[in-house]
Structure 1
Amino acid sequence: MSDSLLALVDPALCDDVARCAAAAGYRLVVADPHLCRAEWLRARAVVVDPSAVAVLGNTAVPRRQGVLLVADAPPAATTWRLAMDLGAGDAALLPADESHLVRRLTELRAPRQATAGATALMAAHGGAGASVLAAAVALAAGDAGEEVLLLDVDEFGGGIDLLLGIEDRPGLRWQDLAIDAGAVNGQALRHALPKANDRLSVLTGRRDDGAPLTADAVLATVDAGRAHGDLVVVDLPRTDTDIVRGVIESVDLVVLVATPTVSGCAAARRVADRLLGDAADVGLVIRGPSPGGLRPAQIADAVGLPLLAAFRPDPRLPGRVEGGRLQPGSRSPLGRAATAVYRAVTVADHGPASGPGVRTAVAGRFAPPPAAGDRSVA
Structure 2
Amino acid sequence: MTGFKALRGQDRRGRWERREHLGRWGDFGGEGPPRAAGPGAARARPLIVTEDVRLLDDLLRLCAAAGAEPEVHHTLPERKGSWEEAPLVLVGDDAAARCRGAARRPGVMLVGREQDDPAVWRLAVEIGAECVLRLPDAEGWLADRLADAAEGAAEHAVTVGVIGGRGGAGASTLACALAVTAARAGRRAMLVDADPLGGGLDVLLGGERAEGRRWPDFAASKGRVAGTALEDSLPRLHDLSVLSWDRGETVTVGPDAMRSVLAAARRRGGVVVVDLPRRVDEAVAEALAQLDVGLLVVPAELRAVAAAEQVASRVRMVLRDLRAVVRGPCPAGLDGAWIAEALGLPLVGELPQEPALSDALERGAPPGARARGPLAAFCSAFWERALGPEGGARS
- TM-score, length basis structure 1: 0.65
158-167 vs 173-182, which deviates more?
A: 173-182
Distance across 2 between alignment mates of 1:267 and 1:120: 18
SS in 1 for 2:187: coil
Residue matched to 1:333: 374
Q: Is 1:243 aligned to residue 243 of structure 2?
A: no
Return the match for 1:283 from 323, 338, 341: 323
Distance across 1 between alignment mates of 2:228 and 2:286: 22
Distance across 1 between alignment mates of 2:240 and 2:170: 20
Q: Deviations over 1:321-359 (max 9, x none)?
A: 244322522332211222233345434999xxxxxxxxx
Q: Is 1:297 aligned to residue 337 of structure 2?
A: yes
Q: Percent identity?
A: 33
CA-atom RMSD in angstroms = 3.7
* C-alpha contact (below 8 Å) 1:147/1:230 kept by paired residues: yes
Residue matched to 1:310: 350
Distance across 1 between alignment mates of 2:275 and 2:182: 15
Letter of the 2:159 counterpart: A
Residue matched to 1:232: 272
Q: Deviations over 1:224-249 (max 9, x none)?
A: 12212242111001111111111111
Residue matched to 2:187: 146
Return the match for 2:309 from 258, 262, 269: 269
Alignment: residue pair count: 284
Distance across 2 between alignment mates of 1:28 and 1:326: 39
* C-alpha contact (below 8 Å) 2:193/2:201 kept by paired residues: yes
* C-alpha contact (below 8 Å) 1:175/1:205 kept by paired residues: yes
Distance across 1 between alignment mates of 2:220 and 2:160: 22
How far has the Cα of 1:143 moved from its partner? 1.2
Q: Deviations over 1:54-74 (max 9, x none)?
A: xxxxxxxxxxxxxxxxxxxxx
Residue matched to 1:321: 361
What 5-or-longer segments of structure 2 have no aligned partner? 19-60, 67-87, 91-108, 133-144, 146-152
How far has the Cα of 1:273 moved from its partner? 1.9
Q: How do residues 153-164 of structure 1 correspond to structure 2 at under 5 angstroms? A: 153-164=194-205
Distance across 2 between alignment mates of 1:348 and 1:247: 27
Residue matched to 1:41: 15
Q: 1:268 to 1:95 in 2, by over 3 A?
A: farther
Residue matched to 2:157: 116
Q: 1:101 to 1:299 in 2, by over 3 A?
A: farther
Return the match for 1:254 from 275, 290, 294: 294
Q: Is 1:105 aligned to residue 130 of structure 2?
A: yes
* C-alpha contact (below 8 Å) 1:151/1:234 kept by paired residues: yes
Distance across 2 between alignment mates of 1:244 and 1:206: 19
Q: Deviations over 1:235-289 (max 9, x none)?
A: 0011111111111111111111111221222222222222223325222111111
What 5-or-longer segments of structure 1 have no aligned partner? 1-7, 30-38, 45-80, 351-378
Return the match for 1:208 from 245, 248, 253: 248
Distance across 2 between alignment mates of 1:263 and 1:41: 36
How far has the Cα of 1:180 moved from its partner? 5.2
Q: Is 1:132 aligned to residue 132 of structure 2?
A: no
SS in 2 for 1:209: coil
More relative contact order, 1 or 2 (CA 8 Å, 6+ apart): 2
SS in 2 for 1:104: coil
Distance across 1 between alignment mates of 2:10 and 2:240: 37
Letter of the 1:291 counterpart: P
How far has the Cα of 1:94 moved from its partner? 8.1
SS in 1 for 2:325: strand
* C-alpha contact (below 8 Å) 1:286/1:309 kept by paired residues: yes
Distance across 2 between alignment mates of 1:331 and 1:232: 23
* C-alpha contact (below 8 Å) 2:174/2:367 kept by paired residues: no
185-194 vs 98-107, which deviates more?
A: 98-107
SS in 1 for 2:129: helix
Residue matched to 2:74: none
Q: 1:132 to 1:178 in 2, by over 3 A?
A: closer
How far has the Cα of 1:179 moved from its partner? 5.1
